Amino acid sequence: MQQLWGTRNSNNLRIALDSLVANRLRSFLTALGIIFGVGAVIAMLAIGRGAKEEIMNQMKLVGVNNIVIKPVTEKKEEEEKEGTEQKKPAGQEKKQKFSKGLSLADAHSILKMVPTVESISAEMILDQDIIYKSKSKKLKTVGVEPSFFALNNIGLAEGKMFNEQQLARGEGVCIIGAGVKRKFFLSEDPVGKDIKIGQQWLRVIGVTDEKLISSATKENLGIRDYNMDVYIPIQTAVLRYRNPAFRISDNRWERDDNPPPAHQLDQLIVKVHDPELLTESAGIISRMLKRRHSDVEDFEVTIPEQLLKQQQKTKDVFNIVLSAIAGISLLVGGIGIMNIMLASVLERTKEIGIRMALGAQKRDIVMQFLFEAVLISLCGGIIGILLGVAGAYFVDKVADIKTIISAISILLSFVLASSVGLIFGISPARKAANQNPIECLRHA
């Protein structure tokens, strides 16, 4: 019995294949909706997966528990405008408040006074000419503390970290990025070598690991290429480059005729214990800095994780809309299959009558037309998968949008294509099977 059922199905499948081959153009046009729907589903899933991974990589770069503080120039445009329109009487002008700007003292106070803070990293960024033997290049020289490397997930490939003595005395040592090593020390070990940075000779004590960051990520986050940085103790940056007259021990200026810079630091990265406390901690830090800076808001406090989550939410909405469009394409493709199959039933009425007269049962007619519908869907699905993979690759290479094609997305698309053919092929198949064989044979 099972052998007879298998033989019948194989005959039904062969008849369905012969019918599709005989009407190749019509079969291809019928499958177009499935082709574009499956291709769109694969491409959208690849774009969405790539966007999610990119966001996760960006979160790793900026840290999930981090708050970034940057100095800004205070804007007094409204006050100047009001002062121009209405001059105050002599002696009543409000004296402009002075702020020394973002400093190491601010960093130390935040770490000491805010209980939710786990660690803090201060950065001082200097553009300096790097010279070694006959090679020269202007690069970023960044004054940092050891916490900088942990907060930015930067490890050492060779050498060692700054020690307490080098940090406290501001000694002439540095750690170079992996890109700097390739630029200046392609065929030799840089550790222990002296390089000239600006007007100072510093000894290389370490080399960082290679940190791969895409151009799009650097642009979105506004971060540097860490591989092309030279890192020095922040005290070294202050004493040897920013201002030699500054005494770090008491945070005072030794000479009255040498005013302090607007901002000593270029960035502060604060890591808190718990991500749930990010917003609360940012508010406390903002109020604390405002008091320390005489109510002058010459700083900006941002939470990168929240910005990235908002960006992820926007991309998710975009992907949902595009996936809905792809789903509509599949639906339209399924309706197209059903319409063509219904037309095919009317067109092949005599063929159905002859088969039933020769002993074919209703289930044979149902299977024949179901096979045709499913085969159209499967062929369309296979072509759609190829189109979707090619489209995702094209988007990745041409539009510079990261895409990741997974086996699950291909399997899902294949199942969807098969389901569409099966669901929309049932009605035409049942209609064909319910034909009266005598009426079918009378059909011209």
pLDDT at 129: 92
pLDDT at 247: 43
pLDDT in tens, 108-127: 899 888 898 888 888 888 99
DSSP H helical segments within 152-197, as ranges? 164-169, 178-184
Length of the chain: 444
pLDDT at 160: 93
| 62 in Cβ contact with 154 (< 8 Å) | no
Q: What is the DSSP letter of 360?
A: -
DSSP lists the bridge partners of residue 363 as none
Cα–Cα distance between 437 and 434 in angstroms, integer? 9
The phi, psi pair for 34, rounded to 5°, reads: -65, -40
Question: What's the pTM value of the predicted model, to 2 decimals?
Answer: 0.57
- Extract the tokens encoding 210: 């290679």
Domain boundaries defined on the chain: 8-58+310-442, 99-297
- Sequence-distant (6+) residues with CB within 8 A of 442 are 353
pLDDT at 196: 93
pLDDT at 410: 83
The phi, psi pair for 142, rounded to 5°, reads: -115, 120
In the chain, pLDDT over 90 holds for what percent of residues? 14
Cα–Cα distance between 262 and 299 in angstroms, integer? 11
Q: What is the torsion angle, in degrees rounded to the nearest 10, for the CA atoms of residue 12, residue 17, residue 22 and residue 28?
A: 130
The residue type found at 274 is D
pLDDT at 307: 59
Q: Smallest Cα–Cα separation from 241: which of 271, 275, 202? A: 202
Task: State how far the alpha carbon of 104 is from the alpha carbons of 121, 147, 234, 263, in Å.
Answer: 10, 14, 9, 10
pLDDT at 55: 65
Task: State how far the alpha carbon of 437 is from the alpha carbons of 16, 34, 150, 345, 349, in Å.
Answer: 19, 33, 81, 13, 9
Q: Smallest Cα–Cα separation from 213: which of 203, 205, 222? A: 222
Q: How confident is the prediction along the chain (444 residues), in pLDDT tens digits per residue?
A: 444 445 667 777 787 787 778 778 888 887 887 888 888 888 888 887 777 777 666 665 656 678 888 888 654 444 444 444 445 555 545 555 667 788 888 888 998 888 988 888 888 889 999 999 889 999 999 999 888 888 888 889 999 999 888 888 889 999 999 999 999 998 889 999 999 999 899 999 999 998 876 666 656 556 678 889 999 998 898 888 876 544 444 444 343 444 444 567 888 888 888 877 888 888 899 999 988 888 888 888 887 765 556 666 666 777 677 777 777 777 777 787 788 777 777 777 777 777 777 777 777 788 877 888 888 888 888 888 899 889 888 888 887 777 888 888 788 877 877 788 778 777 777 777 777 776 766 654
Cα–Cα distance between 147 and 262 in angstroms, integer? 24
- Extract the tokens encoding 269: 């990265």
